[in-house]
Amino acid sequence: MALFRLTRMVEPEPLLRGDGIYLRPAVSSDHPAWSRLRADSRAFLTPWEPIWPEDDLTRAAFRRRVRRQAEEVANDESYSFLIFEAVSDTLLGGLTLGGLRRGVAQAGTLGYWMGAPYAGKGIMTRAVAVAVRYGFGALRLHRIEAACLPENLPSMTLLERNGFQREGLARAYLKINGVWRDHCLFARIDDGESRFD
């Protein structure tokens, strides 16, 4: 009977666990830690990211981000996560499996960022491993793609450590720090061995 379906069941947000870390979607209460880490890491992140909107670090912008994240999950378009240290619950960075293409493609694109104090410690390598297992398992993707600037050797290394293979160069692929930049393209195909459900 329709009376019993007045409210939509809310599924629990996924909590993905890895080696000393966990990933979960952002919630409104993450704003102080997120905005502080992003602000403190701005100089470190600027060469690798699009230009930040003027209000990017505000609470209102973060609320919009969390709302958009929920809409994208509901539409099976994108799955965004923050990365935390497991013992201290310290926010370390974030990643997204986005641009999902279903049908005959079953593919998505991986993007990630790390707070400056935590870069170069292998944390993102572990976080990407968790995201790949989730993408191939729960999301049933066949292919996960990633792109990075040709001079971003740490990003290339972490992708290769996670089984991604370089597939080519895309000219003027993304507008980074206000300039259309070439990107090295990487992809990993589901081998059936990197899943958890």
Contact 83, 95 (CB under 8 A): yes
3-state secondary structure of 96: strand
Contact 45, 38 (CB under 8 A): yes
Contact 83, 23 (CB under 8 A): yes
Task: State how many domains the chain has.
Answer: 1
Q: What is the pLDDT of residues 115-140, one digit of tens each?
A: 999 999 999 999 999 999 999 999 99
Q: Is residue 157 part of a domain?
A: no
Instruction: Supply the Cα-derived Rg of the chain in whole angstroms.
Output: 17
Q: Is residue 188 part of a domain?
A: no
Output the pLDDT for position 8: 39
Q: Is residue 27 part of a domain?
A: yes
Q: Is residue 105 part of a domain?
A: yes
Q: Is residue 53 part of a domain?
A: yes
Output the pLDDT for position 3: 43
The pTM for the full model equals 0.89
What whole-number distance in Å separates Cα of residue 170 and Cα of residue 181?
9
Q: Is residue 133 part of a domain?
A: yes
Phi-psi region of 30 (alpha: psi -120 to 50; beta: other; left: phi over 0): alpha
Q: Which two tokens stand for residue 61?
A: 């912008």
Residue 95 burial (CB < 10 Å; 0-12/13-18/19+)? Answer: buried
CATH number at residue 127: 3.40.630.30
3-state secondary structure of 183: strand
Q: Is residue 60 part of a domain?
A: yes
Output the pLDDT for position 192: 78
**Which residue numbers in the chain have pLDDT < 50?**
1-12, 197
Domain hosting residue 61, numbered range: 13-141
Q: Is residue 158 part of a domain?
A: no
